[in-house]
């Protein structure tokens, strides 16, 4: 008897008639007669307005009035206190270019400056530092970029069916909303896009010689791609950058960085001979692992920038 | 050089305060953009060109574009607040 009851309740739960926890109360399906007519937006708005007016009746409710005053005064006091604390902390910072600051007098920075060129082969000390001595930190930063795009994809990416069903109307929609055939924008983009792409590639490849590197160059490349999409539309961009290329590029870049970085660490930590040549400082093929890592980071950042824009704009790449 | 730096810093503070006090969201995004641009010049003067390039590309470029797209999505771009008010008044009169 009991057993039968249990199976019944399970079946009932499965079909939606019973609730396992509230098994005595059978949840019947709502028939259409019981459905109330949905209140219109205006009714809801009026009701909430009325309720708000009742709660925040600042004219006659004295307690609320005094609370509001107290709230504002304490907010101002808190802001002033916070500003004072921050400014007071700034007074403890060493002045710019001071000889005795920890940044100038510690052993680590001395080593970076004196042996940096010899050990990393990079004439740009900053690149040499962040991509060899601190390559592990930079790997973490690159992973942050990777994970953040995945989060944005989870939140904003539309189903492919929705994208395809909209694609017929898309051109019409785009030409209405986005000025897709704007001659001024297109002419400017025709001139500017190649220059921006070239400059971005130059900054990425020249990371070990001049200011820049993967992060800045990748940001420039991404900005150039955003300009291209805005001027010429998504269809022309998809000829050279679509979702499958995006996935391949992004994962390859991160894996490449991981492999090179771990190789460098295992060899360095065990005092083994490093097989990546440092090259002559000053030439383009120098700096050992800096150049390939710069390229990987550049691809990663450019993909991230473009993907953020595309996902925000239309919910797909 | 010092005077130039002081002018830039004052402009930076003016931008930072006016971002918060601007009623129109589009205006505050544009002011934020100019804040980033001034900041990148300051990085340049502090002899860190790496940061200057990144600040100009990310702060002034990509971040504000993302802000613009978001404003458009939530329909936060109001073309001219005064015109809007007038239109509202007209429609109110009609309904009354």
For A259-281, write each residue's pLDDT tens digit: 988 888 888 767 677 777 777 77
Residue scoring higher pLDDT (A148 or A160): A148
In the predicted model, is pLDDT for residue B73 greater than 70?
yes
Task: Tell me if A213 and B50 make a contact (CB, 8 A cut-off).
Answer: yes
Asked whether the beta carbons of residue A215 and residue B73 sit closer than 8 angstroms, the reply is no
Most confident range (mean pLDDT) of A54-58, A132-136, A160-164 is A132-136
* Lowest mean pLDDT across A102-116, A292-306, B3-17, B49-63: A102-116
Judged by CB atoms closer than 8 Å, whether chains meet at A96 and B46 is answered as yes
pTM of the model: 0.72
Q: Which of A256, A263, A237 is nearest to A299 (CA)?
A: A256
CA A95 to chain CA centroid, Å, is: 34
Q: Give the C-alpha separation, B13 to B35, whole Å.
A: 9
Banded pLDDT at A189 (limits 50, 70, 90): very high
B6 pLDDT tier (thresholds 50, 70, 90): very high
Average pLDDT over every residue of B61-87: 76
Query: Do the Cβ atoms of A46 and A54 come closer than 8 Å?
Result: no
Per-residue pLDDT band for A34 (boundaries 50, 70, 90) equals: low
d(CA A188, CA A110): 47
Interface contact flag, A305 B62, Cβ < 8 Å: yes
**Residue extents of the structural domains in chain A:** 2-28, 123-314
Mean pLDDT score of chain A, rounded to an integer?
80
Q: What share of chain B is helix, strand, coil (3-state, %, to 5)?
A: 85, 0, 15
What average pLDDT does the segment A168-185 reach? 62
The pLDDT of residue B37 is above 90: yes
Chain B residues with CB under 8 Å of a chain A CB are: 46, 48-50, 52-54, 57-58, 61-62, 65-66, 69-70, 73
Q: Please give the Cα distance from B65 to A5 (Å, whole number).
A: 62
Q: Where are the alpha helices (DSSP H) in A91-177?
A: 102-105, 107-120, 125-128, 135-156, 160-177
pLDDT of A1 reads 47
- Using DSSP, state whether B87 is helix, strand or coil: helix
* A126 touches B: beta carbon within 8 Å: yes
d(CA A284, CA A300): 21
Among B53, B62, B70, beta carbon nearest to A211: B53
Question: What pLDDT sits at residue B94?
Answer: 53
Mean pLDDT throughout A24-36? Answer: 57
Q: How far is residue B60's CA from residue B35's CA, in Å, rounded to a whole number?
A: 8
Q: What is the span of the domain harbouring residue B6?
A: 2-95
Mean pLDDT for A124-136 is 85
On chain A, the residues whose CB falls within 8 A of the CB of B65 are: 223, 226, 309
Pair of tokens at residue A287: 């700096």
Min Cα separation A213/chain B (Å): 8
Query: Does A203 sit within 8 Å of B73, measured CB to CB?
Result: no
What the block records as the tokens of A172 is: 């019409």
Q: Quick one: what percent of chain B has pLDDT higher than 70?
A: 79
Please report the number of interchain residue pairs, chain A to chain B, with beta-carbon separation below 8 angstroms.
Answer: 47
Geometric angle at alpha carbon A168, from A166 and A174, rounded to 5°:
80
pLDDT at A95: 77
% of residues, chain A, pLDDT over 70: 77
Q: What is the DSSP letter of A130?
A: I
ipTM here: 0.77
pLDDT at B84 (0 to 100): 56
Q: Does A228 touch chain B (CB under 8 A)?
A: no
The CA distance from A205 to A212, in Å, is 9
End-to-end CA distance of chain A: 59
pLDDT for residue A99 is more than 80? no
The reported pLDDT for the residue numbered A113 is 82
């Amino acid at each position: 008897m009991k057993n039968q009851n249990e199976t019944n309740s399970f079946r009932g739960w499965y079909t939606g008639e019973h609730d396992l926890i509230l098994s005595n109360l059978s949840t019947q399906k709502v028939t259409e007669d019981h459905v109330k007519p949905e209140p219109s937006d205006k009714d809801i708005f009026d009701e909430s307005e009325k309720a708000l007016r009742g709660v925040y009746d600042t004219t006659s409710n004295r307690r609320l009035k005094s609370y509001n005053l107290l709230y504002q005064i304490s907010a101002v006091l808190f802001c002033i206190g916070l500003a004072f604390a921050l400014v007071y902390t700034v007074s403890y910072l060493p002045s710019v270019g001071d000889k005795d600051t920890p940044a100038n007098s510690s052993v680590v920075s001395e080593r970076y400056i004196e042996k940096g060129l010899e050990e990393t082969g990079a004439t740009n000390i900053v690149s040499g530092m962040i991509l060899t001595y601190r390559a592990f930190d930079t790997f973490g930063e690159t992973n942050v970029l990777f994970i953040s795009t995945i989060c944005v994809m989870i939140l904003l990416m539309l189903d492919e069916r929705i994208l395809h069903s909209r694609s017929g109307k898309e051109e019409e929609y785009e030409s209405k909303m986005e000025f897709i055939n704007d001659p001024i924008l297109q002419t400017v983009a025709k001139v500017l896009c190649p220059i921006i792409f070239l400059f971005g590639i130059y900054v990425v490849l020249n990371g070990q010689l001049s200011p820049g590197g993967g992060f800045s160059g990748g940001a420039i490349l991404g900005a150039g791609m955003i300009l291209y999409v805005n001027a010429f539309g998504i269809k022309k961009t998809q000829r050279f950058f679509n979702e499958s290329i995006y996935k391949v590029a992004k994962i390859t870049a991160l894996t490449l960085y991981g492999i090179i970085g771990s190789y460098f660490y295992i060899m360095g930590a065990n005092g083994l001979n490093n097989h990546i040549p440092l090259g002559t400082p000053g030439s383009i093929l120098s700096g050992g692992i800096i150049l390939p890592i710069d390229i990987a980071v550049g691809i990663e950042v450019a993909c991230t920038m473009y993907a953020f824009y595309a996902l925000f704009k239309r919910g797909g790449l | 050089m010092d005077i130039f730096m002081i002018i830039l810093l004052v402009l930076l503070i003016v931008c930072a305060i006016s971002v918060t006090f601007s009623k129109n969201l589009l205006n505050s995004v544009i002011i934020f953009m100019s804040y980033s641009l001034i900041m990148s010049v300051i990085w340049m003067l502090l002899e860190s060109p790496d940061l200057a390039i990144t600040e100009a590309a990310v702060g002034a470029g990509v971040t504000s574009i993302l802000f613009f797209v978001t404003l458009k999505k939530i329909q936060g771009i109001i073309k001219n607040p005064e015109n809007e008010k007038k239109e509202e008044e007209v429609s109110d009169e009609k309904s009354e």
